[in-house]
């Protein structure tokens, strides 16, 4: 069966899962390069298995709100691939969550985790629960109910969930507490834990910092640096905040951040202490920024891609940068787009950016710093020790440099220099495929 034929099988099996099909299509597009040069590396048996999750768990999550009313959400955990390690990946809490979104995220995670060089398989979970506007007590009751079902499927050597959209330190803490209460097992079953109970220094910063380390490696390889560049970032959550921090430390000026209601533009560079106060302490909205900085602007209902910048780092959600946005970015002189979010750039936008000579890096490579640091948290938990911030940060930078090297060198090896998406997909795939073949048809 060739890649086109297998893609038709995947479509037939889940015709409505558009995000998942988009993610598979992108990977298959890259694998066509191997199909042409080295068909023997594409085993039919491996390909057929890699697009089907090993296990999909869907469950009811009932909880009682502050008014005493029962609420019901749907919980998911997709254990996609365990060829190179225990399932590993975050939990997304957002009203848009459905099986397609969790499957696309789980599929991406397989290749991302392989690129980190650490022994982690691919998984993802979540729920259509919306933590926004809920009290701490409601969030706690939801997280406890979610874990009361999930605990039987996970474990430190089985499946290790973590944060994603809507799941931060608060939610991981509540889930960890409930897991421990049910199992009596104090172990590294989740990552992104608080620093007083097994969390790793640098995990909070890791995805955003890692994105900038990857981008820095890419820029260096192309003869430039962050220094003096203007950067547009979308989102104002965990990834966006720490991408803004590191890009600024590396000499860039970050001029935008956003949330699902609009974006802020500050020509003087984002005041990140204020953003942290609004988002991390008050759990407020990004438009509150202009209350303190009236010289900055807030644009409601728009995304930040019409702003003039050299480098764009989409850090909010999937398909948030489309072909119209890509055209605006190119017209304004952007030369580099590295993804902090998972699949934020639409296929047409990726094509347009690359055709116009923009360096483009896919999230499964450039945002792998978060899960890489989670892997380091697992190592520390297994050894019952903790490394300093500097030690973890140094390891993180080393891993991101190595991921960039794999993307660059694999792209060159297959005759597609600077097409980092091809390098990422092929390098990640070959590692997992080799392990799957060695373990037989399971
Ligand atoms: P957070 O929940 O901390 O922040 C998410 C941000 O994205 C918020 O500003 C949110 O705005 C915005 N956003 C979410 N959904 C939408 C939407 N539908 N339209 C517009 N804006 C939206 O999540 P993270 O920062 O952790 O995650 C951001 C991205 O990075 C996701 O794609 C995630 O999968 C990816 N990622 C995260 C990692 C991590 O370690 N946390 C690791 C690797 C990738 P609002 O408040 O209005 O919803
Ligand atoms: O998309 C991702 O890589 C994450 N949300 C982080 C997963 C993790 O296990 O740390």
How far is Cα 407 from Cα 218, in angstroms, rounded to an integer? Answer: 10
How far is Cα 171 from Cα 184, in angstroms, rounded to an integer? Answer: 19
Cα 402 to middle of ligand 2, angstroms: 18
Among 237, 300, 305, 314, name the best residue to mutate to test ligand 1's pocket (greatest count of ligand atoms within 8 A of Cβ): 237
Q: Which atom of ligand 1 is nearest to the CA of 303?
A: 20
Residue 44: predicted pLDDT: 86
Residue 420: predicted pLDDT: 98
How far is Cα 424 from Cα 359, in angstroms, rounded to an integer? Answer: 14
Do the beta carbons of residue 217 and residue 400 sit within 8 Å?
yes
Q: Which of 378, 382, 336 is nearest to 356 (CA)?
A: 336
How far is Cα 436 from Cα 49, in angstroms, rounded to an integer? Answer: 9
Checking DSSP bridges between strand 359-361 and strand 121-127, what pairing results, if any? unpaired
How far is Cα 361 from Cα 400, in angstroms, rounded to an integer? Answer: 12
Q: From the CB of 116, is ligand 1 less than 6 Å away?
A: no
How far is Cα 362 from Cα 342, in angstroms, rounded to an integer? Answer: 8
How far is Cα 162 from Cα 192, in angstroms, rounded to an integer? Answer: 6
State the DSSP string of 369-401.
HHHHHHHHHHHHHHHT----HHHHHHHHHHHHH
Q: From the CB of 89, is ligand 2 less than 6 Å away?
A: yes
Tokens of 148: 């009361």
State the DSSP string of 38-64.
-GGGS-HHHHHHHTS-SEEEEEEEEEE
Dihedral over Cα of 345, 347, 349, 350: its sign: positive
Q: From the CB of 243, is ligand 1 less than 6 Å away?
A: no
Residue 253: predicted pLDDT: 98
Sequence-distant (6+) residues with CB within 8 A of 331 are none
Q: What is the 8-class DSSP label of residue 152?
A: G
Cα 12 to middle of ligand 1, angstroms: 30
Which residue, by CA, sits nearest to atom 3 of ligand 1?
A: 237
How far is Cα 276 from Cα 284, in angstroms, rounded to an integer? Answer: 10
Cα 102 to middle of ligand 2, angstroms: 12
pLDDT in tens, the chain (442 residues): 899 999 999 999 999 999 999 999 999 999 999 998 888 888 889 999 999 999 999 999 999 999 999 999 999 999 999 999 999 999 999 999 999 999 999 999 999 999 999 999 999 999 999 999 999 999 999 999 999 999 999 999 999 999 999 999 999 999 999 999 999 999 999 999 999 999 999 999 999 999 999 999 999 999 999 999 999 999 999 999 999 999 999 999 999 999 999 999 999 999 999 999 999 999 999 999 999 999 999 999 999 999 999 999 999 999 999 999 999 999 999 999 999 999 999 999 999 999 999 999 999 999 999 999 999 999 999 999 999 999 999 999 999 999 999 999 999 999 999 999 999 999 999 999 999 999 999 9
Sequence-distant (6+) residues with CB within 8 A of 327 are 352
Residue ranges and CATH numbers for the domains of the chain are: 3-186 (3.40.50.10860), 206-361 (3.40.50.720)
Q: From the CB of 315, is ligand 1 less than 6 Å away?
A: yes
Cα 237 to middle of ligand 1, angstroms: 6
Which residue, by CA, sits nearest to atom 3 of ligand 2?
A: 371
């Amino acid at each position: 069966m060739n890649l086109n034929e297998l893609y038709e099988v995947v479509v037939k099996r889940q015709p409505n899962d558009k995000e998942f099909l988009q993610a598979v299509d992108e990977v298959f597009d890259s694998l066509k390069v191997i199909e042409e040069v080295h068909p023997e590396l594409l085993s039919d048996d491996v390909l057929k298995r890699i697009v089907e999750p090993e296990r999909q768990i869907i469950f009811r999550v009932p909880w009682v709100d502050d008014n005493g009313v029962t609420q019901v959400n749907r919980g998911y955990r997709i254990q996609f691939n365990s060829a190179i390690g225990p399932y590993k990946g975050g939990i997304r809490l957002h009203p848009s969550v459905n099986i397609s979104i969790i499957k696309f995220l789980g599929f991406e995670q397989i290749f991302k985790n392989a690129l980190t060089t650490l022994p982690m398989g691919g998984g993802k979970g979540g729920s259509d629960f919306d933590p926004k506007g809920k009290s701490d007590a409601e969030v706690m009751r939801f997280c406890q109910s979610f874990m009361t079902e999930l605990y039987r499927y996970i474990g430190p050597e089985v499946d290790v969930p973590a944060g994603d959209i809507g799941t931060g330190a608060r939610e991981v803490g509540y889930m960890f507490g409930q897991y421990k209460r049910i199992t009596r097992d104090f172990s590294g079953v989740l990552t992104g834990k608080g620093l007083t109970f097994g969390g790793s220094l640098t995990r909070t910063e890791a995805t955003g910092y890692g994105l900038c380390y990857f981008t820095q490696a890419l820029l260096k390889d192309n003869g430039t640096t962050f220094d003096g560049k203007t950067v547009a970032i979308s989102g104002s959550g965990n990834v966006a905040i720490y991408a803004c921090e590191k890009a600024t430390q590396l000499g860039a000026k970050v001029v935008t951040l956003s949330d699902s209601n609009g974006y802020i533009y500050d020509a003087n560079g984002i005041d990140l202490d204020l953003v942290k106060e609004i988002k991390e302490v008050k759990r407020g909205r990004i438009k509150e920024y202009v209350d303190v900085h009236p010289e900055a602007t807030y644009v409601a209902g728009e995304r930040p891609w019409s702003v003039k910048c050299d480098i764009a780092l989409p850090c909010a959600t999937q398909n948030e940068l489309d072909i119209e946005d890509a055209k605006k970015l190119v017209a304004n002189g952007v030369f580099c787009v590295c993804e902090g979010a998972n699949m934020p750039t639409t296929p047409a936008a990726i094509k347009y950016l690359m055709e116009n000579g923009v360096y483009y890096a896919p999230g499964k490579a450039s945002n792998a710093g978060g899960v890489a640091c989670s892997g380091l948290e697992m190592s520390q938990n297994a050894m019952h020790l903790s490394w300093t911030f500097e030690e973890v940060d140094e390891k993180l930078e080393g891993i991101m440099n190595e991921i960039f090297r794999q993307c660059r060198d694999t792209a060159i090896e297959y005759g597609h220099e600077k097409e980092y998406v091809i390098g990422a997909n092929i390098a990640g795939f070959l590692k997992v495929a080799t392990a799957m073949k060695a373990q037989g048809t399971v």
